[in-house]
Amino acid sequence: MSDHDEATIIDNAFRSFTHEAAPSVHAPEVSIVYAAVAHQHKVRVAGLSVVSALAVVLPVSIYFGLANGSQSPPTDVLASASPSVGASPSPSESPGSRIDRQALTGQPIDLPGWGCGTKNLTLADTAGGEGSIWVDALVDVAGAGDTPPMTVALIHCQSVRGRLSQVVAFQQNAAGKITSLGQVIVTSANVPVIQEIRPSQAGDVSVIVTSNGQSQIRDFKWNGQRFSQISGPTDPATPPPSKPPQALADLEVKLSGLTFGPEADGVRTGSITVTVTNLSTTASAGFSVALDGDSVGACPGCPGGFSRLGSSAITIEPNQWANGAARGPLAGGGSTTITVSFTLTRAHAFYQDRNVISATLTPSGGKDPKGDNNYAESDFTVAG
């Protein structure tokens, strides 16, 4: 205790005794005053000791209480840490939040009418067999003004009539339930194929449809109640004008100039000329010419050790027109010529009465007014 505090206590004690004794009581002796001061000092020291003890004991008690499992905070702390019943849902569950492919295929969905199933459907993630309904593509619509945030999906169905498609807008409520806001477009006689969807610069979603072999881009926008088309064609594409049937040209193939060189080491080399002529005044379509070599007929009286000439023994080089190699077209009255070389090889001596190099012409489309002049052959003999 400081000297100032003791002086204050002594002054207060003198004033108290003076007030209580005046005017009939004489002032107390100094010893009595000092006794009163000592008593008040003891009381004050005792009070400070109790406060100090509490400051030490309370934290220790709390520590041992926690160690014994009583770790619950006060009731008012628990109440402030728990969210209220009316708390706002998390952003992922808020109405109109983005719907991804997993969410759309992960719960039963109802669809607008379209020629396939509509109620309590589980959509597949990829295409399947007949009866399957699957999600092709998704486009998110952010929403502005009267447009709610939504997700637009291109959905297909494989039916007995072929593939059917529709574009549908969906929205997700606070509980995560996905519901349809309506149909954007569906396949029909005027829209036989829905090919693709993508974000739109003009509206909310662009739909690419195909009709009569031509693609169209149609833009749709939410008008507060449904989607309506705001740009792009509304009618199916006009089919391209059909080409008039092409008049058939009469093509003829001929072989000429078959020659052989001498045999050397079992090999004979020869050549032949192939000519194709357009006998019509109309230009031809394309055509191809296949060349082949073969032997025809039996080999009566062949000397012993001689074998029949087979097609595998003939190699045509260069085989520019063989195996359907395309040529033409030819103008009316025009012609084209090629000279072909070939070799004959043998393991034994050759002997055959009649051997053939042949040419077969095939017009594009397989049609020719006559056809009997689309084949030609040239005979040769190989003696042992």
Here the CATH number for the domain that contains residue 337 is 2.60.40.10
Which of the listed residues 231, 261, 285 is the one where a domain comes to its end? Answer: 231
The structural domain count of the chain equals 3
Average pLDDT, the chain: 73
Both 162 and 221 in a single domain?
yes
Which of the listed residues 231, 262, 283 is the one where a domain comes to its end? Answer: 231
Q: Which domain holds residue 29?
A: 3-66
Both 157 and 104 in a single domain?
yes
Tell me if residue 11 falls in helix, strand or coil: helix
**Owner of token pair 């706002």:** 88
Q: What percent of the chain has pLDDT over 70?
A: 60
> Does residue 368 carry a pLDDT above 60?
yes
The mean pLDDT of 205-227, rounded to a whole number, is 92
The predicted-structure confidence for 325-347, as pLDDT tens digits, reads as follows 557 788 999 998 888 877 776 54
Both 54 and 96 in a single domain?
no
Of 91-95, 132-136, 229-233, 292-296, which gets the smallest average pLDDT?
A: 91-95
Both 262 and 377 in a single domain?
yes
Please indicate, yes or no, if residue 73 is contained in any of the structural domains.
no
3-21 vs 30-67: helix crossing angle, rounded to 10: 120
Q: Which residue has the higher pLDDT, 66 or 98?
A: 98
Both 166 and 270 in a single domain?
no
The mean pLDDT of 167-173, rounded to a whole number, is 93
* Residue pair 121/161 in contact by the 8 Å Cβ criterion: no
> Please, which pLDDT band fits residue 56 given cuts at 50, 70 and 90?
very low
CA–CA gap between residue 230 and residue 318 (Å, rounded): 62
In the chain, the largest separation of any two C-alpha atoms, in whole Å, equals 181
> Does residue 297 carry a pLDDT above 50?
no
Closest CA to 287 of 375, 177, 187, 202: 375
Please indicate, yes or no, if residue 208 is contained in any of the structural domains.
yes
| pTM beyond 0.85 | no
Both 218 and 260 in a single domain?
no
Q: What is the pLDDT of residue 377?
A: 85
Surface-to-core class of residue 358, CB atoms within 10 Å of its CB (0-12 exposed, 13-18 middle, 19+ buried) = middle
* Residue pair 206/234 in contact by the 8 Å Cβ criterion: no
> Does residue 281 carry a pLDDT above 60?
yes
Which of the residue ranges 94-98, 162-166, 266-270, 368-372 has the most confident prediction, judged by mean pLDDT? 162-166
> Does residue 45 carry a pLDDT above 80?
no
Closest CA to 155 of 180, 129, 135: 135
> Please, which pLDDT band fits residue 4 given cuts at 50, 70 and 90?
low
Both 160 and 258 in a single domain?
no
Both 107 and 161 in a single domain?
yes
Both 41 and 168 in a single domain?
no
Q: Which residue has the higher pLDDT, 49 or 233?
A: 233
Q: What is the pLDDT of residue 239?
A: 85
224: left (phi over 0), alpha (psi -120 to 50) or beta: left
> Please, which pLDDT band fits residue 304 given cuts at 50, 70 and 90?
very low
Of 32-36, 165-169, 344-348, which gets the smallest average pLDDT?
A: 32-36
* Tokens found for residue 154: 């291109």
* Helix/strand/coil percentages in the chain, nearest 5: 20, 35, 40
